Amino acid sequence: MNFGPSAPLVGNGPYNRGGKHYISDRTEPYNQNPVFFSHPANLGQIAPYIFLLLDVFIIDTHTHIYLPEFDADRDDMLQRAISRGVQRMLMPNIDIASIDSMLAVAAKWPLHCFPMLGLHPCSVPDEPGPLLEQIGELFEENHWVAVGETGIDLYWDKSRIGQQRESFRRHIEWSLRYNLPLVIHARESFHEIFVLLEEKPYPGLTGVFHCFSGDAETAAKCLSFEGFMLGIGGVLTYKKAGLPEVLKEVPITRIVLETDAPYLSPVPFRGKRNEPSYLMYVLDELSKVYELSPEEIALQTTSNATRLFTRIP
């Protein structure tokens, strides 16, 4: 799969780009009427760029909305996200204990919330073999939209690097065997990740470097893996992170949106619980970086995400 600069700017369907409205060839059973999609800071008033969306929505490609942080208000929180245009939310798994709560959310919101299967690098035990076997068997069930999250985390724990490598290699195998994109968590570990991805040729491997916050050189290296995208979230709004400068070298065709909720809230909610409806702030920031309207950013990143996560409707 080629997501490079030659990839089409906007995905599959015919779009009417002549007027204010973008119309795709999708039909959404729950979205028959025009939806007003507004910046959360301007709810209740006419926002400068409230846009009328016939069928434009955005996808939060990485959100842990099944965690206990959302137990008290999950339904309200999801309604808020959906009403602001975040129509799809992809849920990366953490460990064996989180699977049931994730599947419960997916069952309750089947048009909006989709589960992945994997083992977070910080949850890899001393002896990962039996746990990886157990998770591997669950791939025979058919509801997963991606493999993850996996990767290497050397920030929290350097002692289990061997086990993390073993787990990551297994996730690459699952990704290829089940034809699902790989969702990679890299924390102080890009070098390790690149070495593992280049250990063997993995033709057809696709995925996302989730919560990307590296420098320009690292971004270029990530994008040298043709089937991969960068997941961009709240870190974009953190001044010190310098991500806007880095993204100037990254084609918009290689970016997907994510919150990593409940973590990494964008400014002005930094330090508080994050939730999918806050993606508007990331969209806003991306629109400044790329000098495109929020509608165009929404269209393009949604098109990117649906090319990558081929199992979501």
**Rule CB under 5 A: which residues touch Zn ion?**
92, 260
Alpha carbon of residue 254 to chain centroid: 12
Q: Where are the beta strands (DSSP E) in 38-189?
A: 51-53, 58-60, 86-91, 113-115, 147-153, 182-187
Selection from 313, 62, 88, 99 nearest residue 183 by Cα: 62
- Write down the least CB distance from residue 26 to Zn ion, Å: 27
Nearer to Zn ion, 149 or 296 (CB): 149
Nearer to Zn ion, 36 or 263 (CB): 263
Nearer to Zn ion, 60 or 260 (CB): 260
Nearer to Zn ion, 260 or 295 (CB): 260
DSSP 234: G
- Write down the least CB distance from residue 272 to Zn ion, Å: 17
As a whole number of angstroms, the distance between CA 219 and CA 212 comes to: 8
How far is residue 196 from each of residues 153, 185, 215, 297, measured CA to CA in Å?
Answer: 14, 13, 20, 32
- Write down the least CB distance from residue 258 to Zn ion, Å: 8
What are the two backbone dihedrals, phi and then psi, of residue 60, each rounded to the nearest 5 degrees?
-85, 105
Both tokens of residue 183? 């969702």
- Write down the least CB distance from residue 135 to Zn ion, Å: 16
Residue type for position 111? L
Q: What is the number of residues in the chain? A: 313
Runs of H (alpha helix) within 142-257: 161-177, 190-197, 216-223, 243-247
Residue type for position 91? M
Alpha carbon of residue 217 to chain centroid: 22
Nearer to Zn ion, 92 or 128 (CB): 92
Nearer to Zn ion, 153 or 260 (CB): 260
